[in-house]
Amino acid sequence: MPSASLKDEFGADPNQPLFILDGFEATLQTIIDLDMNRIASVTLLKDAASTALYGAKAANGVVVVATKEPEPGAVRISYSGDFSVSAPMLGVYNMMNAAEKLEFEKLAGRYTAGSQGVYTQITRDSIYNARLSAVESGVNTYWLSEPVRTGITQGHSIYADGGDGSMRYSAGVNYKTIGGVMKGSKRDTWGGNLKLSYRNKKLNIMENLFVNGAEGSESPYGSFATFVNANPYFKKRLADGSISRYLDETTDPNATDAEISTNPLYNAGLGNRSNNKSLGVQNNLSLIYDIYPGLRFRARCR
């Protein structure tokens, strides 16, 4: 499922590796949004040699990504598309049913007042008996399927390249729409790349421009963990089919806010939306000039 912002999630991670794209440092966002059809190789460096090459930034390893070089010849235009389906694997969650969860809470002392007094014990007995009555009447709610769906992703890219022995060029555009497994979540990405290469006997000039953007929406259902933690002895909806804010308005005078059960479907029905956009531009220019055999001048500009 799409993340709200890859930059926010990983940008300040001190354990993040260093990303190198065609010889230049790049962001995780740029790497994620690359057109996979244009990637020539991905190399992982995680030993002392990587630190020697790239300095202290390579302490957590280096991910070196190289894109395909333009091929000489007449202009060639190609199109590629991909389609994928993502489905939630709910079978890996071995959750207690309503009867098991209620019995577990009882054995754990959830309904025992202890030193808090007789009145508190009477209140907790009332809460337990109400939940037990619901379980015995057949309430065994399965929450996990509520916020998820089958997500569909499709991508399209167009690429053109050509040139001769000394001057080569390539250009490409791509677009991908990603349907998240959480209901209402999605991420649309687009990008473009222009690569120019000039070579003669001693001079090599490479210009590489990357532009990428993304627009995403978070699921109004919030975190999937909220549904995992919802108790199965509560009903999702009231008798009239409406969704209440609270699953169980306990009368326990010692209950804390953390013990008051909120209906995870309530916020999803409010119509709240969280959207995000991003735009990235990276322009890499490199120049190599062989002055003498064994002596080379190299310059890079980003």
Q: Are residues 201 and 239 in the same domain?
A: no
Lowest-confidence pick of 5-14, 47-56, 289-298: 5-14
Q: Are residues 68 and 104 in the same domain?
A: no
Q: What was the pLDDT predicted at 4?
A: 39
Do the domain assignments include residue 263?
A: yes
Do the domain assignments include residue 1?
A: no
pLDDT tens digits, residue range 163-218?
987 899 999 999 999 999 999 999 999 999 999 999 888 899 989 998 989 999 99
Q: Are residues 14 and 74 in the same domain?
A: yes
Environment class of 259 (CB within 10 Å of its CB; exposed 0-12, middle 13-18, buried 19+): exposed
Region 73-82 average pLDDT: 91
62 vs 294: which has the higher pLDDT: 62
Beta carbons within 8 Å of 75's beta carbon, 6+ residues apart: 160, 161, 162
Q: Are residues 16 and 80 in the same domain?
A: yes
Do the domain assignments include residue 22?
A: yes
Q: Are residues 169 and 77 in the same domain?
A: yes
Q: Are residues 225 and 214 in the same domain?
A: no
pLDDT at 151 over 90: yes
Q: What was the pLDDT predicted at 8?
A: 47
| pTM across the whole model | 0.72
268 vs 271: which has the higher pLDDT: 268
Q: Are residues 103 and 83 in the same domain?
A: no
249 vs 179: which has the higher pLDDT: 179
Do the domain assignments include residue 60?
A: yes
Question: Which residues form the domain of 43?
Answer: 6-87+147-220+274-301
Do the domain assignments include residue 294?
A: yes
Q: Are residues 209 and 289 in the same domain?
A: yes
Do the domain assignments include residue 208?
A: yes
Do the domain assignments include residue 59?
A: yes
Region 134-138 average pLDDT: 95
Q: Are residues 201 and 284 in the same domain?
A: yes
Q: Are residues 258 and 284 in the same domain?
A: no
- What's the total number of domains in the chain? 2
Confidence of residue 293 (pLDDT cuts 50, 70, 90): confident
Confidence of residue 247 (pLDDT cuts 50, 70, 90): confident
Do the domain assignments include residue 161?
A: yes
Q: Are residues 247 and 170 in the same domain?
A: no
Q: Are residues 81 and 123 in the same domain?
A: no
